Structure 1
Amino acid sequence: MSLIAFFGALESGLIYALVALGVLISFRILDFPDLTADGSFPLGGAIAGISIVSGIDPWIACGLGMLAGAAAGMVTAFLHVKLGILQLLASILVMVALYSVNLRIMGAPNLPLLGEETVFSNLVTNENGYWMRCVIIGGVVLIAKLVLDLFFSTEAGLSMRATGSNLRMAQAQGINTSWMTIIGMAISNALVALGGALFVQTQGGADISIGIGTIVIGLAAVIIGETIIPAKRIWLITFAVVIGAIIYKLFIQVALSSNTLRSIGFGSQDLNLITALLVVIALQLPTIKSKLLSGLRA
């Protein structure tokens, strides 16, 4: 793997680290199986893209994308807590609806950003482009992680964690679990949408299909991170998730660059197949680790 390919994988891993942090909140903290991410990721990209084309500052465009993602997450939570629709079905309904919403926002299946100012325009040059984008995105990820760590140490954050851990006990303690779920889903999908907003700026355009498999990548990153760095402290959990996303993307790059895979017929068109196989492996990592530890103790 070349140095440019490595930084490309690192860049992608950092973007999906934001997705993984969002998935951590929905799947792990709230215990809410949420597929909205497949719609909120391109939603953030679409909002950011159309805002940039309209002359809005790229950082403000990212903020607008986050707000749109938060709104999508709130709709999913509302369908569940207020209308009584099953969590998974509510997220599927919103995900499907967002496909049409994203098409309406962009006005077409794709929206080019070539020649437009992005968050990277003032700092990235032809000489430093392959690593400077990683530094900028890494800074955004670090800020997001630290803010989450701070939030989950507050009373509201602890109430949200209690809601996901034991709903009935949280209600017995007087916690408004409905609002905690709505707020948590808003934060989750805001992070996913921020990842989408940054993604389209690295790719030079938004596309309606960029959200396919987003939730799979996020969940795989969470599982890999938890397996490599098992932890109970929230700051270490969020760190593990970020590392998991980076490792996952590096694995993908190594797999695509492998001569062994090429020799048996795999190519870039098989990215989704390779992704699925890696997710299966990631899901089995906790079992494999447990068996290894049991063998060493024996």
Structure 2
Amino acid sequence: MSQIAFLGAIEVGLVFALVAFGVFLSFRILDFPDLTVDGSFPLGGAVCATLITFGWNPWLATLAAITAGAMAGSVTAWLNVRLKILHLLASILTMMALYSINLRIMGKPNVALLGEPTVLSVFDTLGVKYYYAAPIGFAIVVTAVAGLLLFFLKSELGLAMRAAGANPHMAKAQGINTGFMIIVGMALSNGLVALAGALFAQSTGNADITMGVGVILVGLASVIGGEALLTPRTILLALLGCIIGSILYRLAVAAALNTDFLGLQAQDLNLITAALVAMAIVLPTAKRAVFKPTGRPQA
């Protein structure tokens, strides 16, 4: 694997670490299977790219993308909490609606950002080479987001959200508004996914209507793979697992595509993704089987 391919894998892995954070919030904290991310990821890219081409500051465009993603997550939660639609079906409905909304926002299937300013443009003024700029910039963003998430999940509101996801009946008995917690958590989750989409669009130089296909699988692979490597006894370890799992996933994909004897090509990406997700799901079970403590023989 070349240095450029390696740095590119790190760059994309850091972007998808934000997706993994969002999936961790919905699946692990709220116990809410959410497919909205396949729509909120391109939503973030569509909003950000369109606003940048309209002359917006890229930082404000990125903030608008986060807001749009949070609104999409809130819609999914509202459908489930208020209209009592099954969470999985509610997320599918929102994801389907977002496909048309994204096309409306962009006005066409894709929007190019060639020659437009992005959040990475600051590194050009500092003389940092382009293939170092994105990994450095995204590493700063991921670290900041992880710190804010850690602080939030240990706050009173975060603890209430964790309680609502772990045992909603007990949380209600303690006076916690579980419906409100679900709406806030889903808004935060999809806001993070939209942030990832906005950064991805600025990194690749375009936003495309199909850029969200399979994002949920990548997020799940990152979360489950990270949990297999780092037993998430604390929130900090869980967040670190999301980052490490995402980066290792992208490195595995890059290595597979750059290994000549395997004969894999770019069109095999979904096949590689499915195989890696299956491995990530099986790995924790295999790990427990290998390291299962043996009992002492009875006297």
SS at match of 2:292: helix
Question: Which amino acid in the other structure matches residue 74 of structure 2?
Answer: M
Question: Which amino acid in the other structure matches residue 194 of structure 1?
Answer: L
CA distance in 2, matches of 1:149, 1:43: 26
C-alpha change, 1:104 and 1:261, in structure 2 (3 Å) is same
Asked if structure 2 preserves the Cα contact closer than 8 Å seen for 1:22 and 1:192, the reply is yes
CA distance in 2, matches of 1:210, 1:251: 20
CA distance in 2, matches of 1:284, 1:60: 42
Correspondence for 2:32 = 32
Return the TM-score normalized by structure 1: 0.96
Does 2:166 correspond to 1:168? Answer: no
Correspondence for 1:145 = 146
Correspondence for 1:88 = 88
Correspondence for 1:259 = 260
C-alpha change, 1:58 and 1:18, in structure 2 (3 Å) is same
For structure 1, which runs of at least 5 residues remain unmatched after alignment? none
Correspondence for 2:67 = 67
Correspondence for 1:282 = 280
C-alpha change, 1:141 and 1:127, in structure 2 (3 Å) is closer
Correspondence for 1:293 = 291
CA distance in 1, matches of 2:124, 2:17: 21
1:211-243 Cα shifts (integer Å, max 9, x gaps)? 000000001000011010002211221111111
Return the TM-score normalized by structure 2: 0.96
Deviation larger for 67-76 or 273-282: 273-282
Asked if structure 2 preserves the Cα contact closer than 8 Å seen for 1:9 and 1:246, the reply is yes
Question: Which amino acid in the other structure matches residue 180 of structure 2?
Answer: W
Deviation at 1:259, TM superposition (A): 1.7
Correspondence for 1:23 = 23
1:9-55 Cα shifts (integer Å, max 9, x gaps)? 00000000000000000000000000000000000000000110011
Asked if structure 2 preserves the Cα contact closer than 8 Å seen for 1:45 and 1:65, the reply is yes
C-alpha change, 1:88 and 1:297, in structure 2 (3 Å) is same
CA distance in 2, matches of 1:103, 1:130: 30
SS at match of 2:180: helix
Deviation at 1:296, TM superposition (A): 8.0
Deviation at 1:297, TM superposition (A): 8.0
For structure 2, which runs of at least 5 residues remain unmatched after alignment? none
CA distance in 2, matches of 1:103, 1:296: 58
Question: Which amino acid in the other structure matches residue 134 of structure 2?
Answer: R
Deviation larger for 276-285 or 30-39: 276-285
SS at match of 1:174: coil
C-alpha change, 1:297 and 1:15, in structure 2 (3 Å) is farther
Query: In the TM superposition, what are the counterparts of 1:107-118 in structure 2 within 5 Å?
Result: 107-118=107-118
Question: Which amino acid in the other structure matches residue 217 of structure 2?
Answer: V
SS at match of 2:131: helix
Asked if structure 2 preserves the Cα contact closer than 8 Å seen for 1:76 and 1:90, the reply is yes
CA distance in 2, matches of 1:7, 1:52: 26
Does 2:47 correspond to 1:47? Answer: yes
SS at match of 1:34: coil
SS at match of 1:206: strand
Deviation at 1:267, TM superposition (A): 1.1
* Percent of residue pairs identical: 53
Question: Which amino acid in the other structure matches residue 267 of structure 2?
Answer: Q
CA distance in 2, matches of 1:71, 1:297: 52
SS at match of 1:111: strand
Question: Which amino acid in the other structure matches residue 257 of structure 2?
Answer: L
Question: Which amino acid in the other structure matches residue 13 of structure 1?
Answer: G
SS at match of 1:11: helix
Deviation larger for 252-261 or 177-186: 252-261
Question: Which amino acid in the other structure matches residue 68 of structure 2?
Answer: A
SS at match of 1:118: coil
Correspondence for 1:121 = 121
CA distance in 2, matches of 1:124, 1:87: 44
Does 2:14 correspond to 1:14? Answer: yes
C-alpha change, 1:162 and 1:113, in structure 2 (3 Å) is same
Correspondence for 1:207 = 208
Deviation at 1:295, TM superposition (A): 7.8
Asked if structure 2 preserves the Cα contact closer than 8 Å seen for 1:124 and 1:133, the reply is no
CA distance in 1, matches of 2:35, 2:245: 20
SS at match of 2:111: strand
C-alpha change, 1:77 and 1:212, in structure 2 (3 Å) is same
Deviation at 1:287, TM superposition (A): 1.2
4+ aligned runs moved over 2 Å, structure 1? 124-127, 294-298
C-alpha change, 1:55 and 1:297, in structure 2 (3 Å) is farther
CA distance in 2, matches of 1:293, 1:67: 44
